[in-house]
């Protein structure tokens, strides 16, 4: 009865071993199947997720780190972002320090060398466009300014052409097996996007030279594209909340430089916009700013369709 444990019948031990092996095998299968399903893309903002989708289609599995109604400067380094970044093959972000408040923690904690700055899997869109508002000197006394220039590059559709080109090349480098697919998608995008830009520019012709107020310094690329003139900002310094005194001062200045409308991004608090709009008898216009910012802005094309429509409505 009391046979020594280490000799004789070893069958219970080996059965256990087989079960263990099965479990390990199943676990490995689970990990490898999810890893090989597609290129895992971690998009920092919705516009880059939308662009990646247009360029890669079902060849990638997409995760978007921030929502359209979130202030992209103020995202928390949530645990979910860390685990998504650990498995990402490609990170697609605005760059230009827009994500500086959270992305460094994510990169550090995820331990994923493939997406670190400088690696093939780290794509910063701002590197491929001509940056505006690059500060000549850096001082926090000027508010929340970015050393590399204004990072809100997604408000000018022309910026998407060089970015798409670079992003497509990056996708090909990471996933050469699908080169033909990425090339076709890019050429489709280029053709359709150029046609769309021409259409938007035609529609937006009445906006040329129109004076606007911006709630946050977030529209230099849009203004540059459509030829609108920004006459005032509702933030005394970028990222600073305006006081009642400051708003009154802006209101006073509007007497000399009247504006047609006050613009804000969908994620921004509407109060200061409405305050000035009511007193200056102008329109407060909320722009989607990125994909998903309004119910209409369901993809990149709809983003600019809706932006133009809302701006035109602001003219009336």
Partner 1 sequence: MHKKPYLSAAVAALCICPLAADAATDADLLAIRLQIQQLKQNYEERIALLEQRLQAAEARQTQATQTPQASVAPAQPASGEGAFNPAISLILGGTYGALQRDPAVAATGFAMNPNPGHQQGFNLGESELGISANIDPDYRGVATLALAPAGGITVENAYVQTSAAGNGLNLKFGRYFSALGYLNEQHAHAWDFVDQPLVYASFWNNQLGEDGVQLKWLAPTDTFIELGGELGRGRGHPGSDRAKNGAGSGVLFVHAGDDIGVEHSWRIGASLHKTRATNRISNAVPDLPGTPGGVSNSFSGDSQTAGVDFVWKYAPDGNTADRYLKVQGEYFRRRESGLLTYNLLTTDTYTNTQSGWYLQSVYQFMPHWRTGLRYDQLDPGTAGVGALNAGNIISDYGFQPSRATLMLDYSPSEFSRFRLQLARDHSRQGLPDNQLFVQYIMSLGAHGAHQY
Binding residues for partner 1 (CB under 8 A):
31, 35, 66-67, 69-71, 73-80, 82-84, 86-87, 95-97, 100-105, 108-113, 116-117, 124, 126-131, 140, 143-144, 147-148, 158-159, 161-162, 184, 187-188, 190-192, 194-195, 239-241, 267, 269
Structure token pair of residue 211: 């004076």
Beta carbon nearer to partner 1, 97 or 175: 97
Beta carbon nearer to partner 1, 131 or 282: 131
Beta carbon nearer to partner 1, 116 or 231: 116
Beta carbon nearer to partner 1, 27 or 313: 27
Beta carbon nearer to partner 1, 61 or 231: 61
Q: What are phi and psi of 168, to 5 degrees?
A: -65, -40
CB 196 within 8 A of CB 202: no
State in angstroms the smallest separation of the CB of 310 from partner 1. 19
State in angstroms the smallest separation of the CB of 239 from partner 1. 6
Structure token pair of residue 27: 């676990």
3-class secondary structure, 60: strand
State in angstroms the smallest separation of the CB of 11 from partner 1. 33
3-class secondary structure, 303: helix
State in angstroms the smallest separation of the CB of 3 from partner 1. 37
Structure token pair of residue 252: 């006073």
Beta carbon nearer to partner 1, 270 or 278: 270
What is the dihedral angle through the alpha carbons of 158, 159, 162, 165, rounded to the nearest 10 degrees?
Answer: -90
State in angstroms the smallest separation of the CB of 291 from partner 1. 14
Q: Which long-range contacts (CB under 8 A, 24 or more apart) does 159-165 make?
A: 159/125, 159/129, 159/221, 160/51, 160/193, 160/300, 161/190, 161/193, 161/194, 162/128, 162/129, 163/51, 163/125, 163/128, 163/129, 164/51, 164/54, 164/55, 164/189, 164/190, 164/193, 165/128, 165/190
State in angstroms the smallest separation of the CB of 35 from partner 1. 8
């Amino acid at each position: 009865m009391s046979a020594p444990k280490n000799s004789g019948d070893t069958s219970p031990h080996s059965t256990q071993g087989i079960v263990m092996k099965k479990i390990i095998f199943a676990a490995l299968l689970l990990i490898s199947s999810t890893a090989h399903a597609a290129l895992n893309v971690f998009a920092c903002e919705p516009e880059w997720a939308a662009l990646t989708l247009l360029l890669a289609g079902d060849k990638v599995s997409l995760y978007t780190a921030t929502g359209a109604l979130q202030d992209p400067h103020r995202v928390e380094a949530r645990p979910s972002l860390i685990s998504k970044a650990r498995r990402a093959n490609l990170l697609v972000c605005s760059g230009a320090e827009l994500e500086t408040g959270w992305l460094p923690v994510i990169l550090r904690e995820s331990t994923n060398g493939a997406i670190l700055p400088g690696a093939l899997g780290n794509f910063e869109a701002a590197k491929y466009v001509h940056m505006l508002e690059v500060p000549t000197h850096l001082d926090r006394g000027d508010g929340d300014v970015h050393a590399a220039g204004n990072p809100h590059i997604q408000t000018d559709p022309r910026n998407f052409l060089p970015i798409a080109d670079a992003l497509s090349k990056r996708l090909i480098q990471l996933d050469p097996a699908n080169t033909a697919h990425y090339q076709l998608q890019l050429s489709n995008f280029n053709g359709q996007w150029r046609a769309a830009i021409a259409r938007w520019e035609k529609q937006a012709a009445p906006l040329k030279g129109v004076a606007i107020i911006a709630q946050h310094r977030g529209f230099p690329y849009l203004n540059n594209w459509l030829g609108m003139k920004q006459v005032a900002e509702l933030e005394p310094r970028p990222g600073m909340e305006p006081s009642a005194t400051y708003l009154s001062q802006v209101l006073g200045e509007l007497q000399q430089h009247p504006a047609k409308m006050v613009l804000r991004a969908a994620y921004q608090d509407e109060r200061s916009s409405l305050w000035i709009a009511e007193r200056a008898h102008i329109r407060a216009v909320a722009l989607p700013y990125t994909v998903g910012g309004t119910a209409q802005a369901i993809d990149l094309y709809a983003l600019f369709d809706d932006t133009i429509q809302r701006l035109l409505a602001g003219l009336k």
